[in-house]
Amino acid sequence: MDEISLINDHAHALGVAVPTVERRLVPDEPANVSGVYWGTDPGLVVLHGARLDAHTWNGVLLRLGVPAVAYDLPGHGHSRHLAPDEYTVSTMAGILAHAIRHDVLQDFTLVGHSLGAMVSIALAARHQLPVKRLVLLDATPHGLGGLPGDPVIPIQHVGTLDELVDAVHAEAPGRDRQSLLRGVSRNVRERSDGLVEWRWDPRFRDSAQLRRTEKFEVWKSLASLDVPITLIRGDRSKLVTNAMTEEFLQFVPQATVEVAPQSGHNVHTDAAAWMAAWLSALPEM
């Protein structure tokens, strides 16, 4: 089943209106970025985290029902792969800035999860884009590129669909397997040998040290912003601690913090209904 049909089936399952949605590519350099476009004239841009794709936002955007664009980060989903030394926050932000200028013609709210949150900070601070609000999902610059001493967890890149779903389920045992199956099936492609492989570039994982060296610059970018900033933590997540949150607020005292209920690190999938309701309550949404 193609990705748009999967979205329509998801809409029927939720009992919401079937959206006007399409997959498009910003073809010219330096972008070659692919996105899922919800309606026309988007006022909301959303960015996923590492090893995910634009469809991780489907549950939120179906419930929200506003024009939006969800991009695949470079090296993820249907966007082009980069050279290994290009998987930096700075380079990815520059590529996405080109795509946003092509697609978004008004002031917009920018929401980023995990790595997408770090790229969002760079986008808002360095590229003169009309960002009117920045929302960071379960991410502060503390964790950029992983924390020193973090174990390297092997990730199965090729296998049967069931094997890849099982591997994700082992990392997130609290998630419903059927929802994981839906998400994984959109983020893999079939090989000639009948197995499937993730769409994200396996070389991306080997570039974490590059992003780790960018922490200071991302903190500086965050401090330079003068737009409303909200950090949303998952109440079950262990990736953004109380100490990190306190330091974040010392660095950007104008920011606010929200806690998403019954949510781990993937706030927008674990608490999609809550996330959609929170966004819909914003005065400018």
Q: What is the pLDDT of residues 177-229, one digit of tens each?
A: 877 888 888 889 999 999 999 999 999 988 888 999 999 999 999 999 999 99
CA–CA dist 38, 70 (Å, integer): 8
Question: Parallel, antiparallel, or unpaired: how do β-strands 196-198 and 188-190 relate?
Answer: antiparallel
**What range defines the domain where residue 240 resides?**
3-280
Low-confidence ranges of the chain (pLDDT < 70): 1, 147-153
Burial 188-198 (b: 16+ CB within 10 A, else e): beeeeeeebeb
CATH number for the domain including 97? 3.40.50.1820
Distance CA 199, CA 75 (A): 8
Quote helix, strand, coil % in the chain, to nearest 5. Answer: 40, 20, 40
Q: Beta 256-260 vs 229-234: how paired, if at all?
A: parallel
Which pLDDT score, from 0 to 100, does residue 176 have? 78
Confirm whether 285 is domain-assigned: no
Tokens, residue 84: 């290994």
d(CA 117, CA 135): 8
Q: Tell whether 228 is covered by a domain.
A: yes
The three-state secondary structure class of 109 is: strand
Tell me what pLDDT residue 167 has: 86
- How many Cα atoms occupy the beta-carbon half-sphere of 28 within 13 Å? 7
Asked whether residue 24 is assigned to any structural domain, the reply reads yes
pLDDT of residue 147: 62
H-type alpha helices, 45-137: 58-64, 89-103, 115-126
Tally of CA atoms within 13 A in the half-sphere of 193 that contains its CB? 6
Task: Give the count of domains, the chain.
Answer: 1
**170 sits in which H/E element:** helix 161-171
Query: In Å, how far are 60, 77, 134 from 217, measured between CA atoms?
Result: 31, 27, 17
**Closest among 109, 120, 107, 2 to 60, alpha carbons compared:** 109
pLDDT of residue 215: 95
Q: What is the pLDDT of residue 247?
A: 96
What pLDDT was estimated at residue 151? 60
pLDDT tens string 81-107:
999 999 999 999 999 999 999 999 999
